[in-house]
Structure 1
Amino acid sequence: MHNDLYAALDIGGTKIAGALVSGDGRILLRSQAPTPAREDGARVMGAVSTVLDTLIADPRWGRASALGIGSAGPVDASAGTVSPVNVPGWRGFPLVERVRNATGGLPVTLVGDGVAMTAAEHWQGAARGYDNALCMVVSTGVGGGLVLGGKLHPGPTGNAGHIGHISVDLDGDPCPCGGRGCVERIASGPNIARRALESGWQPGPDGDATAAAVAAAARAGDPVAVASYQRAAQALAAGIAATATLVEIDIAVIGGGVAGAGEVLFAPLRRALHDYATLSFVQHLKIAPALMGTDAGLVGAAAAASLSAQGETAAVGS
């Protein structure tokens, strides 16, 4: 794999990023365009084409053996389609077919963005060396992916490991997904901030009411801010423990903006996990912060393409 070259796309509601990635995980070229998320599907695809054109124009493009896409979801890798919640113009959009046509028939692998992050963390990051792992993105939403038996496990449609929509509060608030009491409804950044505000937390003079501002208040000892993060940690712990009980993971890796709160999140998370992960085969589960940062989507998409080319994962939209 070290001599190979892969193309990668990271599709999100804010930006569309592209890269050429070496076989050892180094990003050799980057390209980026804003996502015209409120425009029609053709305009959004136009932004993808702009990013691809930069990659294709590079003299190294001819060495690319496959292209991976990590996209905000839901995705359907079996059909090659994407329907990102935050890009209304794409519903069942045939992204794999369009990208394959734009690249002259290059093999294309599609996975959800949580699976892409998981592939990156297992290849180069905090889950490296672990055969069974859950990797999570805790940000505006909560997503995730699984490594089982040493291999990426995207599932038939590329969405396996989507821990954000495990219900951890049976009578909890309705979630936009249609369920109740989902991990995302409790632990995502906007919901951490919402809960703090509803419980009487007051933003500072700058008016910053984000989860990062709540984390800063928690570090300063504000009890309402502390309680909101404790509740998020409890929801994450319940979801992680349920996943570990189901498929026996060795490590849970947590990235995304909310993980940037550091010990404000991780300290209560470790305590809550001790309460929820009680069976003998999950008691030694390790919690670790993600290491790949903002490159996770691109590196993970390249990793998914590589694994697909080697026949090590079934989530192929080509």
Structure 2
Amino acid sequence: MHTDLVAALDIGGTKIAGALVDGRGRILLRAQRPTPAREDGDTVMRAVEEVLGELTRSPLWGGARAVGIGSAGPVDASAGTVSPVNVPGWRGYPLVERVRAATGGLPVELVGDGVAMTAAEHWQGAARGHDNALCMVVSTGVGGGLILGGKLHPGPTGNAGHIGHISVDLDGDPCPCGARGCVERIASGPNIARRAIEGGWRPGADGDMSAAAVAVAARAGDPVAVASFERAAKALAAGIAATATLVEIDIAVIGGGVAKAGSVLFDPLRRSLRDYATLSFVRHLTVGPALMGTDAGLVGAAAAALSQEAGAVDLRPAVGS
């Protein structure tokens, strides 16, 4: 029997995914349910319990030593609660306590989804081998996490590295968070599309008004689409450079749907980074795409649980990876 397993949960507004993950980051069993995001909190929790139920019924479950949770935020790891923006039934919801009860009292580690993605990219992905890294998810929102001194740095509440709400435009648009000119307000997928539409870009016959459609137009040379991605890249570069200046990261890894735009995003991002990361100790900073894809949340939640359990466990790469 495997004795080095952890259970992992990846909780978002669309799906609740669960897995049993071994000490090399291999997913041995999966379970998933749609998130009943419009329902009350207990209904959402029932979906979580159904996912956990599939895991606990497995013969492998006996080897599970802990549970890691990566959740859409805000999260509060110190209180064990979650308040995901896109799950209104959960506000200050005692998720850690409920998961502990559903798993027979196993230790539970909670982090935000950006921190989970960071743990995954450091363990198995694009930040592997880097002791100081910023990893970002750029999609409907913009989140992130930090690796400092070779270890995940979630911060007291599990939200450290939340780069989406660094202000990079002092007189910029109001952000739903309450501040102005946040990275997310400029660089998230919906805001890239919004800016392109405001600039006069129009979708094709399919009516697709997403950032992915703007990226297609930008690749074809549409100047408004190109400008929207260039502004997003500039906002990301400013946030990344500010982070590097504060804590001396040497790589920034970008995942999420917007990163799939490829060179349309990364070329202007690298150019802008030269303009913002100007001090001698941040000039070597590199930026690249994430590698972990849709499994990042599960693998990262597992990594967070393993790290916590061992204090500073050596998270070894999977054999052959």
**TM-score, normalising length from structure 1?**
0.97
Give the aligned partner of residue 319 of structure 2.
none
- Deviations along 1:3-52, one digit per CA (max 9) or x if unpaired, are 61110000000000000011101111110000011100000001101100
Say if 2:3 and 2:63, in contact at 8 Å, map to a contact too: no
Q: Which residue of 2 aligns with 1:110?
A: 110
Q: Counterpart of 1:294 in structure 2: which amino acid?
A: T
Kindly indicate whether residue 112 of structure 2 is the aligned counterpart of residue 122 of structure 1.
Answer: no
Between the aligned partners of 1:256 and 1:9, the Cα distance in structure 2 is 18
Q: How does 1:26-41 map to 2 (within 5 A)?
A: 26-41=26-41
Q: Deviations over 1:149-169 (max 9, x none)?
A: 000000000000000000000
Paired position in structure 1 for 2:5: 5
CA contact (8 A) 2:84 2:90 kept: yes
Within-5 A mapping of 1:1-318: 4-312=4-312
**CA distance in structure 2 between the aligned counterparts of 1:224 and 1:252, rounded to whole angstroms:** 27
Q: Write the distance in 1 (CA, Å) between the matches of 2:50 and 2:60.
A: 17
Gaps in structure 2 of 5+ consecutive residues:
314-321
**Matched residue SS, 2:30:** strand
2:317 alignment counterpart: none
Matches of 1:177 and 1:85, distance apart in 2: 11
Residue correspondences, number: 312
For the aligned residue pairs, the C-alpha RMSD in angstroms reads 0.9
Report the counterpart of residue 316 of structure 1 in structure 2: none
Paired residues of 1:3 and 1:23 also in contact (CA < 8 A): no
Whether contact under 8 Å (2:112, 2:158) holds in the other structure is yes
Describe the SS at the equivalent of 1:195. Answer: helix
CA distance in 2, matches of 1:142, 1:93: 23
CA deviations 1:240-277 (Å, max 9, x no partner) are 00000000001000000000000000000000000000
| AA in 1 matched with 2:253 | V
1:303 counterpart letter in structure 2: A
Letter in 2 for 1:62: G
- Confirm or deny: 8 A CA contact 1:183 1:236 kept in the other structure: yes
Q: Deviations over 1:107-148 (max 9, x none)?
A: 100000000000000000000000000000000000000000
1:262-297 deviations in Å (ceiling 9; x for gaps)? 000000000000000000000000101000000000
Q: SS state of the match for residue 136, structure 1?
A: strand
1:268 alignment partner AA: P
Separation of aligned partners in 1, 2:142 and 2:151: 22
Q: Which runs of 5+ in 1 are unaligned?
A: 314-318
| Identical residues among aligned pairs (%) | 83
Tell me the TM-score normalized by structure 2.
Answer: 0.96
- What CA distance in whole angstroms lies between the structure 2 residues aligned with 1:248 and 1:3? 37
Instruction: Tell whether the 8 Å contact from 1:115 to 1:158 is kept in structure 2 after alignment.
Output: yes
Secondary structure at 1:19 match in 2: strand
SS in 1 for 2:115: helix
Task: Provide the C-alpha distance between the structure 2 equivalents of 1:237 and 1:244, rounded to a whole number of angstroms.
Answer: 10
Contact 2:3 2:62 in 1 (8 A): no
1:312 to partner: Cα distance: 3.0
AA at the equivalent of 2:64:
A
